Amino acid sequence: MTEKDERVEEFKLEKDSEFRFELVDHSTGHLEILDGMAEVFGTELVKARKYVFDKGTKASVYTWHGCHIKLTGKTEVAYISKDTPMVMYVNMHVALEQMRMNAEKERVRGPRVMVVGPADSGKSTVCRLLLNYAVRIGRTPVFIDLDVGQSDVSIPGTIGALTVERPADVEEGFNQCAPLVFHYGHVTPATNLKLYNILVSRIADVVNMKCDASKKANLSGIIVNTGGWVRGAGYDSLKHAAGSFEVDLIIVMYEERLYTELKKDMPEFVRLVLLPKSGGVVVRSQSYRGDARERKVREYFYGPRNNLFPHTFEVKFSEVKLFKIGAPTLPDSCLPLGMKSQDNKTKIVPVQPSTSLVHHVFSVSNANSPEENLIEINVLGFIVMVEINLEKQCFTVLSPSPRPLPKSILLQFDMQFIDIQ
């Protein structure tokens, strides 16, 4: 596919059709709706507003009744398709709403849904659609993102949950005002599956508490997004997540093998639905995913439109305590008697200040002391070590808020962020 020059194009969409586009990696695009009604992944577009889409965006505009739109920008692909699974997705939403209404009558909890499927099968998009449709009719479901590679709740390397109270912003996604976030530190569950599973159980416990405390959230139900690792240990961790959240419905994106395996392994009360993958879902390369992760961290500090102003300040070594979760795995034969290599995976390892920490991202833990269970305590936010001065015994950090840091225990990510615009 050849790259077109930036240009203004208008498209007339018939009812039940979608306009799919991919912007090139180096330029943003603008979209306007000129006539009719349309939505982007379940969020309605407002007339006379110019929506700005980030570089490399891959998205679609769907219309139930027909519309006329204008796109300005450099696209790699831009086309209209009438072959969309949207009716099936909306039927799914209707079924969930039916479950909520039944739950209301029977005074039980609303649907607990988990969306699974291989990488690039449209899981996040289906979650976003179902959440948007739910809030559009007054529900407030809890969204949990277990995808540590491409989280829609917080930065990569974390798992998080938020109560969705309004539709996702077309440009910026869900409002991430007060998410509950736990530090994992890596961008794939495989790096430390033991820790990952502990965090999944922990976040499930907290979500259960939230649902016990809020009747509305309990009735609205939960929607859990998962990562694309669906074989071997990845499959086991999906089963673990299903058990932790006590899900009663699993949506499997297009893969029959996964559907059949889960059908066999899940208890009877768990319903399984196989949904087709949209022809518009784009397969993203490793480098695109890496760039997307970096963009996500940048967005955390600078805002989605470069509209935030982070702070840089010095922090004395003595003011903070740095830790990493998990020590390198040693063969069992090298460990003290009775200890297993798996125990190392949840070990809290103190990290000494050194120049190797430059550019590393750190979570600011909500813990008050290292004696607390650092793994299972949520995090307040993130900083980046911009500079380390061993002589002055201080770090220079990039932080979303001005000094001082809210708490003093910092947890190290594998991930680095180099702050160049």
Ligand X SMILES: Nc1ncnc2c1ncn2[C@@H]1O[C@H](COP(=O)(O)OP(=O)(O)OP(=O)(O)O)[C@@H](O)[C@H]1O
Centre a 10 Å sphere on the Cβ of residue 47 and count the other Cβ atoms it contains: 12
Question: Closer CB to ligand X, residue 59 or residue 379?
Answer: 59
Q: Is 369 labelled a binding residue?
A: no
CA distance 383 to 389: 17
Using the rule CB under 6 A, which residue among 20, 112, 183, 202 binds ligand X? 20
For residue 92, give both structure tokens. Answer: 């799914």
Q: How far is the CB of 157 from ligand X (least distance, A)?
A: 14
Find the binder of ligand X among 17, 75, 132, 150 (CB under 6 A).
150
Nearest residue (CB) to ligand X, 188 versus 378: 188
Q: How far apart (Å, rounded) are the C-alpha atoms in residues 288 and 253?
A: 22
Tell me: does residue 188 bind ligand X (CB under 6 A). Answer: no
Pick 63 or 218: Cβ nearer ligand X:
63
Q: Which of residues 30-59 bind ligand X (CB under 6 A)?
A: 58-59
Pick from 17, 60, 218, 220 the residue near ligand X by CB under 6 A: 60
Query: 14: exposed, middle or buried (C-beta count within 10 Å: 0-12, 13-18, 19+)?
Result: exposed
Interaction with ligand X in 109-128: which residues (CB under 6 A)? 117, 119-125
What distances in angstroms separate CA 254 from CA 90, 116, 117, 323, one per listed residue? 16, 9, 7, 41
- For residue 60, say whether it is annotated as part of any ligand binding site: no
Q: Which of 291, 320, 287, 283 is nearest to 399 (CA)?
A: 320
Residue type, 88: M
Q: How many residues bind ligand X (CB under 6 A)?
A: 21
Annotated binding residue 365:
no
Closest to ligand X by CB, 17 or 220: 17
Is the CB of residue 21 less than 8 Å from the CB of residue 54? no
Query: 124 labelled as ligand-binding?
Result: yes
Is 70 known to sit in a ligand binding site? no
Bridge partner residues of 275 (DSSP): 253
User: One-letter amino acid identity for 123?
Assistant: K
CB of 11 to ligand X, least distance (A): 14
Query: Measured between alpha carbons, how far is 144 from 128 in angstroms, rounded to an integer?
Result: 11
Helical spans, DSSP H, in 283-355: 286-302
The smaller minimum CB distance to ligand X, of residues 152 and 325, is found at 152
Measured from the CB of residue 22, what is the shortest distance to ligand X in angstroms? Answer: 7
Omega within 30 of 0 (cis) for the link into 141 = no
Identify whether the C-beta of residue 84 lies closer than 8 Å to the C-beta of residue 16. yes
For the CB of residue 214, give the shortest distance to ligand X in the complex, in Å: 27
Contacts of 352 (CB under 8 A, 6+ apart): 322
The verdict on whether residue 226 carries a ligand-binding annotation is: no
The reply to whether 18 sits in an annotated binding site is: yes
Task: Return the CA Rg of the chain.
Answer: 22
Interface pattern 279-318 for ligand X (x via CB under 6 A): -xxx------------------------------------
Give Cα separations from 110 to 58, 285, 332, 396 (angstroms).
Answer: 32, 37, 45, 47
- Residue with the shortest CB distance to ligand X: 280
Is 228 an interacting residue with respect to ligand X (CB under 6 A)?
Answer: yes
Backbone angles phi, psi at 341, to 5 degrees: -60, -30
Question: Of 286 and 318, which has the nearer Cβ to ligand X?
Answer: 286
What gap in Å lies between CA 399 and CA 405, rounded to an integer? Answer: 8
Are 275 and 253 within 8 A, CB to CB? yes
Residue 124 vs 154, nearer CB to ligand X: 124
Binding segment (CB under 6 A) for ligand X, from list 231-239, 278-286, 331-339, 400-408: 278-286
Q: How far is CA 256 from CA 116, 243, 264, 386, in A?
A: 12, 21, 12, 47
For the CB of residue 191, give the shortest distance to ligand X in the complex, in Å.
16
Q: Which listed residue (97, 147, 248, 299) binds ligand X by CB under 6 A?
A: 147
Q: Is 261 annotated as a binding residue?
A: no
The contact pattern for ligand X, residues 229-268, with x = CB under 6 A and - = no contact, is: ----------------------------------------
Feature table: binding site? 18, 58, 120-125
Binding residues for ATP: 18, 58, 120-125
Residue numbers of the site for ligand X (CB under 6 A)? Answer: 18, 20, 58-60, 117, 119-125, 147, 150, 227-228, 278, 280-282
